[in-house]
Structure 1
């Protein structure tokens, strides 16, 4: 039996990286490095790790994702989202390994009235989106073997994110206000990891055709942040979570009521037909993953 391939995961302490490590463990030799263990912005450190690990696949889950902070700290966003990606891409080229990278729906401006396909014109509205697009473009122009997955509204049970903040607030407040004029697709980090794993491990298709591609990776459907909060609290209530604020107590507001330094696209729905066709499956609607999130969150809290 041949040796298992080695997968190096950067940003292994983040939402996507943590789930990648969990899902890939068993079928690959997984080496996950947190942002403290590997600063991807340091080219010398990256080269040193590659020389030591000799990975077959590099999954870059490291990213600067503070959208509002990036407006005042664009150099920090560029360091992780572009310069570090450039180092990883160049090193993967040298070591002849596949680079898997995660992008964002924020590379689009939200002006389209239909879902965005992978080949649609990009036009990021904020510094975060521009830094991510620069990394994407460098990979596309310079990499020998790559996969880029565009994600949206990512969450998991073990991190601070929109659903965890909503649940925490709902336990102590009797009313919440949530914006209803930003539209996207809530995406479970576990969903991301499982489908990336399947794309890489499923046989049959020509790898050269499958690789060197950008894929929109989100569940089906769309929602506003308000819709997300309503559905989350409705399911949490049904599952017995102790909530002071119920779904009917959430009030919709407009984005203009929030003091957000970074401009957000109002509606970005990613067309995910390409990856569903590649995998030969049909994804569930976005809210089908909420119960799993809540159950995992419950188990985590019971073990604290």
Structure 2
């Protein structure tokens, strides 16, 4: 099997290079070679590579910046997905794409299921929803995997920010009224590898069905709870200095951002579990592995 991965230098793209390697030839391309900001180039790219599957890990992810750059975000997160989907369908490739909890407004009192009404609060969520709809409109064979609160050992993310601040400040103030499932890039990549392998088997037997699935770590917490877990693990590991002695919970109103965030980002994974029969690590266990990866570098 030949797999084309976009966004090779991002958090998930980097991990996919490892997790997909046992499945066959992985052609992982960065922005210089697979530029979603230029959707018109993607058809030729897929025609040249002729992959059996495409895993799109590239995206415009600057949530706050998207408030003033929505057109640029729409091209990458929306328009480009239509082009990728058309190219995948033309060449008989499976398309796997990642979306986000930010397609919901966070007002639900329970974890969201795939069929719940979408109502993005911010530009990033709107453009990611456009990408979902573009794939579905084109058709072909595809899987869209919504995930949430992505972090990893590489890049700019909450985990690395908290570790840096923990070494600098005695007290931190972290939002405690937003709830979600911190999901590591490593877990996303490992689950994707199994999903892709099963999907290819289903395609071979003619039993494959395209669809949208929620795929996150198990369990849930707040940003405050996540921060405390990170700092406690760092202190216990003795891998770095930890100056922080207190993590104060605050409300979202005390930490205003250009883009509004959902209060409830929990996604129900029942549909995913039923289809793929995989064990999703609890977020705490996934965090431990991510920290091991970070400190081993």
Fold conserved (TM > 0.5)? Answer: yes
Structure 1's 15 and 211: CA in aligned 2 closer, same or farther, altered over 3 A?
Answer: farther
| Alignment partners' CA distance in 1, 2:70 and 2:23 | 38
Deviations along 1:219-256, one digit per CA (max 9) or x if unpaired, are 1111110000001111111111333334x511111111
SS at match of 1:172: coil
Q: Select 2:236's aligned residue among 238, 249, 252.
A: 238
Tell me, in whole angstroms, the C-alpha distance in 1 between the residues paired with 2:201 and 2:266. 27
Give 3-state SS (helix, strand or coil) of 1:202's partner. helix
Distance 1:297 1:254 in 2: 30
Q: Name the CA distance, whole Å, in 2 between partners of 1:124 and 1:299.
A: 38
1:221 matches 2:219: yes
Deviation at 1:60, TM superposition (A): 0.8
What corresponds to 2:33 in structure 1?
37
Hey, what does 2:247 align to over in structure 1? 250
C-alpha deviation, 1:175, in angstroms: 1.1
Structure 1 match to 2:293? 296
Q: Which residue number in structure 1 is paired with residue 272 of structure 2?
A: 275
TM-superposed deviation, 1:36: 2.4
Aligned 8 A contact 2:79 2:134 in 1: no
Kindly state the Cα deviation for residue 202 of structure 1 after the two structures are TM-superposed: 3.2
Q: Is 2:86 the partner of 1:76? A: no
User: Distance between the aligned counterparts of 2:112 and 2:49, measured in 1?
Assistant: 37
CA distance in 1, matches of 2:136, 2:103: 15
- 8 Å Cα contact 1:103-1:150 kept in structure 2: yes
Question: Aligned partners of 2:106, 2:207: CA distance in 1, in Å?
Answer: 29
Among residues 112, 115, 120, which one is paired with 1:116 in the alignment? 112
Cα deviation, residue 278, structure 1: 2.0
Q: Alignment RMSD, CA only? A: 1.6
> What is the distance in 2 between the residues matched to 1:205 and 1:54?
19
Answer with 210-219 or 79-88: which moved more. 210-219
Unaligned runs of 5+ in 2: none
Where 1:115 maps in the other structure, the secondary structure is: coil
- The alignment covers a number of residue pairs equal to 295
Contact 1:155/1:161 (8 A) holds in 2 = yes
User: Normalization by structure 1: what TM-score?
Assistant: 0.92
2:49 aligned to which of 45, 53, 58: 53
Query: Does the aligned pair in 2 maintain the 1:220–1:286 contact within 8 Å?
Result: yes
Q: Name the SS of the counterpart of 2:177 in structure 1.
A: coil
Distance 1:101 1:204, change over 3 A: closer
- How does the TM-score come out when normalised to structure 2? 0.95
- SS state of the match for residue 167, structure 2? helix
Matched position secondary structure for 2:173: strand
Instruction: Tell me whether 1:24 sits opposite 2:13 in the alignment.
Output: no
What residue is the counterpart of 1:184 in the other structure?
180
1:62 to 54, 58, 65: 58
C-alpha distance in 1 between matches for 2:59 and 2:10:
9
2:149 maps to what in 1? Answer: 153
User: Are the equivalent residues in 1 in contact too, given 2:39–2:75 (CA < 8 A)?
Assistant: no
- The separation in 2 between residues aligned to 1:267 and 1:245, in whole angstroms, is 31
Q: Which residue of structure 2 aligns with residue 88 of structure 1?
A: 84
Do the aligned residues in 2 keep the contact of 1:176 with 1:245 (CA within 8 Å)?
A: no
Cα distance, 1:12 vs structure 2: 1.1
- Partners of 1:59 and 1:297 lie apart in 2 by 24
> Which piece of structure 1 moves more, 40-49 or 180-189?
40-49
Contact preservation (8 Å) 1:235, 1:290 = no
- Mark the CA change 1:170 to 1:144 in structure 2 (over 3 Å): closer, same or farther: same
Going from structure 1 to structure 2, the CA distance change for 1:166 and 1:203 (only over 3 Å counts) comes to closer
